């Protein structure tokens, strides 16, 4: 009976880690796609290297590598790989919990930081437009303003006399009459969007931590069984 349970545990780990490996590969591929086809990287100049594409790219690599270790360790009943898988999951869970706590504790400071960076990004966009290189930040703001139906940080006055076409509906911008711009600022729109999705994000983090804890429990159980039976690679 015990052997059957351990076999079930072993193959469950293999299947789950294989699925995670495929998901990680998909995330990695999507990150590469965004890196090659989008330019949304300058909305937050201070953290320009941590844009969506790079974040997905790095996340995909981490998921792929960790899940591969778990899959191979369970399949080969390798103690070295299993304990490495356990340690990496533990470190990832600590990092996730630390980041979540920091976001909650320094929420107001992060809010001010993002507001200042968005302001700097808009200034850079206007300066690049004057210099004839309007594509530096233009694509970034066009995507945000079109997606959230907003204009500037607070309103259209942020752009002064250089209001882009993405600040108004396509039906209005294409007309010969004076275009009607969206009144809402992108800062408040983004803030509301994040607040609306805060619960979903929190639930996602909790579910992820539960999966990681289960993965650690499964790997340690299999590790202890291999140690007692004298099987697998010995540390």
pLDDT (mean) for 137-152: 78
Which range in 74-83, 101-110, 141-150 is most confidently predicted, on average pLDDT? 74-83
Q: Is 235 contained in some domain?
A: no
What pLDDT score does 134 carry?
45
pLDDT digits (tens, 9 = 90+) for 94-109: 998 898 888 888 888 8
Q: Is 163 contained in some domain?
A: no
Q: Is 59 contained in some domain?
A: yes
Q: Is 157 contained in some domain?
A: no
Q: Is 167 contained in some domain?
A: no
pLDDT (mean) for 24-46: 77
Residue 129 has pLDDT above 60, yes or no: no
Rounded to an integer, what is the distance from CA 113 to the centroid of its chain? 19
Cα-based distances in Å from 160 to 33, 63, 67, 104, 151:
34, 45, 51, 35, 11
CA distance 168 to 155: 12
Minimum mean pLDDT among 115-124, 165-174, 181-190: which range?
Answer: 165-174
Residue 205 has pLDDT above 50, yes or no: yes
Q: Is 46 contained in some domain?
A: yes
pLDDT digits (tens, 9 = 90+) for 173-203: 655 567 778 888 888 888 888 888 878 888 8
Token digits of residue 60: 């995909």
Return mean pLDDT, the chain: 81
Q: Is 38 contained in some domain?
A: yes
What pLDDT score does 3 carry?
72
Minimum mean pLDDT among 19-33, 59-73, 87-101, 142-156: which range?
Answer: 142-156
pLDDT (mean) for 162-167: 80
If one counts the domains in the chain, the total is: 1
Domain that holds residue 52: 1-151+185-229
Q: Is 101 contained in some domain?
A: yes
Nearest one of 7, 23, 11 to 66, comparing CA atoms: 23
């Amino acid at each position: 009976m015990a052997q059957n349970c351990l076999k079930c545990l072993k193959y469950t780990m293999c299947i789950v880690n294989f699925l995670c490996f495929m998901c990680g590969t998909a995330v990695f591929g999507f990150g590469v796609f965004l890196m090659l086809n989008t330019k949304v990287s300058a909305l937050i100049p201070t953290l320009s290297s941590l844009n969506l594409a790079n974040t997905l790219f790095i996340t995909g690599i981490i998921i792929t590598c960790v899940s591969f270790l778990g899959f191979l360790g369970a399949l080969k009943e390798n103690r070295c790989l299993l304990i490495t898988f356990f340690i990496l999951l533990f470190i990832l869970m600590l990092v996730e919990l630390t980041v979540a706590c920091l976001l909650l504790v320094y929420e107001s400071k992060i809010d001010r930081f993002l507001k200042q960076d968005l302001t700097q990004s808009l200034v850079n966009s206007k300066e690049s437009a004057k210099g004839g290189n309007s594509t530096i930040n233009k694509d970034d703001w066009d995507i945000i303003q079109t997606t959230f139906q907003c204009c500037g940080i607070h309103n259209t006055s942020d752009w002064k006399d250089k209001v882009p076409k993405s600040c108004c509906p396509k039906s209005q911008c294409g007309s010969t009459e004076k275009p009607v711009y969206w009144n809402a600022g992108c800062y408040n729109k983004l803030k509301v969007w994040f607040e609306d999705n805060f619960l979903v994000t929190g639930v996602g983090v909790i579910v992820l931590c539960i999966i990681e804890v289960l993965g650690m429990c499964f790997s340690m159980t299999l590790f202890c069984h291999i140690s007692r039976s004298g099987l697998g690679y010995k540390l």
